[in-house]
Structure 1
Amino acid sequence: MSKSMVVTQPQPVMVSRDSDQWGSGICDCCDDVPECCFAYWCFWCFTCVKAKTYGECLCLPLLDLCGIVPPITMSIRVSMRQRYGIKGDMCNDCLVATFCRACVWCQMSREMRARDLQITLVGARNL
């Protein structure tokens, strides 16, 4: 038996093989026609469902109803860029969130689905 002491435990490392670009363009709604139709016909329901999927409050996108620049759409887009390491800037986020809001939500939805990372705990015990 060895008398060496373990000082540090190995830490989990996340390696991302994803690109630093959006997985689809802002106008690639034909990549998922049912989702695009849902966003077009029932936009506010669509945004609330996607915000909840992203981990935010279900009704948070409804705050976009007031004002010209939609603050929630823009902030979730910026958050998503930071979470997934996507290059971009706030000026572009502001422009697309203001003038292409439904397309932005569809793009973010496609990105969440494409980058869905299932986390598995190795050696975890059910207590």
Structure 2
Amino acid sequence: MATTVVVQQPYIVSHRNPWSSGLCDCCEDMNSCCYAFWCCPCFACSTTGELGESPCLPLLDLFGPGFLAALGFPVCVPPVTLGMRVAVRHKYEIVGSICEDIMVSCCCIWCSWCQMSREIKEHKKPITIMTTQPMVQVVPNISTTTTTHVVRGQPFGIMSPVQMGSPLILTSP
């Protein structure tokens, strides 16, 4: 007699986020905005390098479409800008579509690179978590000078009275 075994895998819900800043929010980072305005190819190369890709990749947007147009293939979408925008969107799980990425890459290339740069910087910021110790029931330990904390019936830890009440601060490297 054969036995049927059904294995149910957990359903993972992906939480998609919006961009951390709007497309035209260049005033949030004026240094990047000025850098992109005065030398967009250099800014695109540095932004691509910050994402971990080859810094020379955006130079293909300058030479690629011109070369393809000379061969008779008109290109209006900058391929590297579009590819980087899609890569940033997927890496940071940002809501959007390929149609939106094409429109932004074609119509406002400077704003697109500035938005990608701000997003990369936002995700590279160090995270600081500050917590305080939970409310605990203090049970004096008669045999020693330290105090044992009990949380929901289980020992929380042994601390001296001097250590009680000090906040716990965690920082990411």
| Structure 1 length-normalised TM | 0.76
Report the identity percentage. 46
Gaps of 5+ in 1: 1-17, 122-127
The structure in which a higher percent of residues are strand is: 2
In the alignment, structure 1 residue 60 sits paired with structure 2 residue 57 = yes
Give the 5 Å matches for 1:1-127: 20-65=17-62, 66=65, 67-116=75-124
Q: Name which of structure 1's ranges 33-42 and 62-71 shifts more when overlaid on structure 2.
A: 62-71
Give the C-alpha shift of residue 34 in structure 1: 1.3
Question: What is the distance in 2 between the residues matched to 1:45 and 1:23?
Answer: 23
Question: What is the distance in 1 between the residues matched to 2:125 and 2:56?
Answer: 24
Where do 4+ consecutive residues of structure 1 move more than 2 Å?
Answer: none
| Aligned length, in residue pairs | 104
1:70-122: CA deviations, max 9, x gaps? 1111111111111111010000000000110010000000000111166x78x
SS in 1 for 2:58: helix
Question: What is the distance in 1 between the residues matched to 2:43 and 2:119?
Answer: 15
Higher relative contact order (CA 8 A, sep 6+): 1
Question: What is the distance in 2 between the residues matched to 1:101 and 1:63?
Answer: 14
Gaps of 5+ in 2: 1-14, 66-74, 127-171
The structure in which a higher percent of residues are helix is: 1
Between structure 1 and structure 2, the one with the greater Rg is 2
Q: Name which of structure 1's ranges 69-78 and 58-67 shifts more when overlaid on structure 2.
A: 58-67
CA RMSD of aligned residues (A): 2.0
Give the C-alpha shift of residue 19 in structure 1: 6.5
